[in-house]
Amino acid sequence: MLTWFMLNFQDSSSSVMEQLIFFHDFAMMIIIFILTLVGLNLLFVCYFKFTYRLFNQEQTVETVWTVVPIFILLLVALPSIRVLYFLDDSYDSFLTMKVMGHQWYWSYEYPYFKNLSFDSYMIPANYLEEGSFRLLETDNSLVLPVNLQIRMIVSASDVIHAWTMPSLGLKVDAVPGRLNQINFMINRCGIFYGQCSEICGANHSFMPIKLESVPMKYFISWLEKLD
């Protein structure tokens, strides 16, 4: 999760987030190069006042500063399209989850396991244990197995919400009367936090998401305890 003075993304926990971070770093490298070039040009213009009074036009320079940006845009567009295709690509899922947004909590359902379902509310600050995270802890966590392709179906019962998990690179709109679907796979065990990223009402900031990724055998034992 994010900490103080952390300016970069959270550590990736899925292949989708890895691709997003790679593309971000690549785009930032190009942006820094362009800013450096423009800055040096401005300094050169400010410090050196050389002018050519017979200067009217320069076809070569105009051609260069038209063609070069075209290649730079293509250089950014091609990996961007690749990442978008990677995000929208669908895989055969081995587990399906249903997520429902409410004002102001989340409901989870495991339809493959006797329609197991539960609600997840934020734990108030005065009930938090020592070392817990304020505005992020929930009474019931979403537990999912690691290294397994998961399909998540998201909707809402009242207003628009957004189920967001930054470390997985996921952001799915929960729209009443509509089903949105996303596929992902968690590639490491851990506890990950997210929040509703759509302004959904007075308590919008009080409906966090807590996800626990565990090995398959622990996931099965967790299901058996709930039965």
pLDDT of residue 131: 82
Same-domain status, 69 and 100: no
Same-domain status, 81 and 159: no
Residue 184's nearest CA partner among 171, 175, 173, 197 is 171
Same-domain status, 36 and 131: no
Quickly state the pLDDT bin for 1 (edges 50, 70, 90).
low
pLDDT of residue 45: 80
Model pTM score: 0.80
Same-domain status, 167 and 214: yes
User: Residues 105-119: what's their mean pLDDT?
Assistant: 87
Same-domain status, 114 and 62: no
User: Residues 188-211: what's their mean pLDDT?
Assistant: 91
Confirm if 106 and 177 have CB atoms less than 8 A apart.
no
Domain's final residue, options 61, 88, 115: 88
Interval 14-28: pLDDT, tens: 888 888 899 999 999
Quickly state the pLDDT bin for 106 (edges 50, 70, 90).
very high
pLDDT of residue 55: 67
Quickly state the pLDDT bin for 116 (edges 50, 70, 90).
confident
With respect to residue 62, please indicate whether it lies within any of the assigned structural domains: yes
CA dihedral angle for residue 87, residue 200, residue 175, residue 170, rounded to 10 degrees: 10
Same-domain status, 51 and 68: yes
pLDDT at residue 145 greater than cutoff 80: yes
Same-domain status, 65 and 120: no
Percentage of the chain exceeding pLDDT 70: 94
With respect to residue 113, please indicate whether it lies within any of the assigned structural domains: yes
Domain's final residue, options 53, 71, 88: 88
Structural domain containing residue 74: 15-88
pLDDT of residue 160: 94
d(CA 43, CA 49): 11
CATH number at residue 104: 2.60.40.420
Q: In sequence order, which residues have a C-beta less than 8 Å from that of residue 17 and are 6 or more positions away?
A: 9, 10, 166, 167, 168, 169
CATH number at residue 64: 1.10.287.90
Same-domain status, 80 and 148: no
The residue that leads in pLDDT, 48 or 196, is 196
Q: How many domains does the chain have?
A: 2
Same-domain status, 115 and 74: no
pLDDT of residue 127: 87
